[in-house]
Amino acid sequence: MSTDTASDETLGTGVGPLSGLVVIETGSMISAPTTGRLLADFGATVVKVEYPTAGDHSRRFGPVKDEVGLWWKYVGRNKKSITLDLKATEGQEVLLDLVSEADVLLENFRPGTLERWNLGFDRLKEVNSDLIVMRISGFGQDGPYAERPGFGTLAEAMSGFAYINGYPDRPPLLPPTGLADHIAGLFGVIGVMYALYHRDVNDGGGQYIDVSLIEPIFNILGPQPLRYDQLGEIEERSGNRSTNSAPRNVYRTSDGRYVALAGSAQPLAMRVFDAIQRPDLKDDPRFVDNESRVKHYDELDAVIGDWIGAHTRQEVLEAFEASDATLVPVYNIKDIMHDPHYKARQSVVRVDDPDFGEAAVQNVFPRFSESPGKIEHLGVHLGAHNDLVYREFLGYDSEMLAELEDTGVI
């Protein structure tokens, strides 16, 4: 357990539209902690509950510098870290004390875990009838798969995302990062805000929100159920092409760089022909409208790809910009960090950090004109706010804290 709490920190000092909202986060890794991070970014006091000896697995997940996990620094930002053993009876009682003073509890354990710890929704609402409990799990709280272990990769596969992602002649392609987890975390924020509105504006009281990993990512894949139901069609992989419009693809320039082009609307497609110095193609029956362009995708791609492949990326960008055509470079993170637009909008900011001195992270999004969010700090050491939360928030005295620490509860 760490006790290195900053001496000038207090609870409830968040800046932003959610200032005053108290959230207890008992989840781990990415999904529920993403909900917590986004709420904390906009001023909510998010108390992160971690197991005393190990903490959140994100502390050791992925890239590490000086034994400090970068994922934790990101997903744990703006949160108060406390340690608490929820398997212990004493720890469960402490959580109930926290819940009694909170607005929201976040969790992403396997369904039934909180119930085994005698911390199910029925017991939680006994101590706080206005509590909003946001529960994220792999397959949801009910249904035949509810008790299965759930991870983002499984959701990305079973949601239909992987099936349509990739090239027709290659296997389905999974994303390189926790896409399903982050989307579920975003849906978690939406659910929490809906529930708070229902509680505080419509006098609706507390409730729990059931968010699965699989349904949010399924939700963003468009009208696939309608397409299958009404047309009997199954969407297939199409690589970087669109099955609905043309031109649309990624192209390699003569200097080995890549650009992405989208010309779905008719005026945009016509500007592409200007950019590649082929205005004659505007009247070509193969390319005269979107339906024709989709039918002759290979021929269209060959014309565009040959022209782009004969020019450097800079030449391509200048030509398309001059024609007001929609094409951009394919960026890696180094490109993003040096891009003037990202810099002008402060999309990446540098934050003081006790471990790294200073570190660059994504800024708070979206932007508010009157009550913006703010990054106060990155993820802190395990249990850094034990003293602050247990003394100031719950009013525990030194004797009680010492007993909880001696027994390993915190």
**289 tagged catalytic:** no
Instruction: Output the domain CATH number for residue 104.
Output: 3.40.50.10540
In this structure, the answer to whether residues 303 and 172 fall within a common structural domain is no
Give residue 12's pLDDT band: very low, low, confident or very high (50, 70, 90).
Answer: low
Selected catalytic residue, list 41, 85, 103, 181: 181
CB-count exposure of residue 230 (10 Å: 0-12, 13-18, 19+):
exposed
In this structure, the answer to whether residues 46 and 115 fall within a common structural domain is yes
In this structure, the answer to whether residues 360 and 318 fall within a common structural domain is no
In this structure, the answer to whether residues 212 and 267 fall within a common structural domain is no
In this structure, the answer to whether residues 282 and 360 fall within a common structural domain is no
Give residue 9's pLDDT band: very low, low, confident or very high (50, 70, 90).
Answer: low
Residue 143 covered by a domain: yes
Angstrom distance (rounded) from CA 247 to CA 263? 5
Structural domain harbouring 279? 248-335
In this structure, the answer to whether residues 159 and 268 fall within a common structural domain is no
In this structure, the answer to whether residues 166 and 71 fall within a common structural domain is yes
The domain total for the chain is: 2
Instruction: Output the domain CATH number for residue 329.
Output: 3.30.1540.10
In this structure, the answer to whether residues 37 and 166 fall within a common structural domain is yes
Encode pLDDT of 17-73 as tens digits. 999 999 999 989 999 999 999 999 999 999 999 999 999 999 999 999 999 999 999
In this structure, the answer to whether residues 97 and 128 fall within a common structural domain is yes
Domain end call among 335, 363, 397? 335
Domain end call among 335, 370, 394? 335
Core vs surface per residue 110-123: b (16+ CB within 10 A) or e:
ebebbeebebebee
In this structure, the answer to whether residues 266 and 393 fall within a common structural domain is no
Domain end call among 313, 335, 357? 335
Residue 394 covered by a domain: yes
Residue 232 covered by a domain: no
Residue 341 covered by a domain: no
pLDDT at 6 over 70: no
CB 73 within 8 A of CB 384: no
- Regarding pTM above 0.85, the answer is yes
**What 3-state DSSP class applies to 125?**
helix
pLDDT at 8 over 60: no
Of 387, 361, 389, 378, give the one whose Cα is nearest residue 45.
389
CB count, 10 Å around CB of 218? 18
Angle formed at CA 381 by CA 184 and CA 35, multiple of 5 degrees: 15
Residue 237 covered by a domain: no
What pLDDT score does 5 carry? 43
In this structure, the answer to whether residues 113 and 253 fall within a common structural domain is no
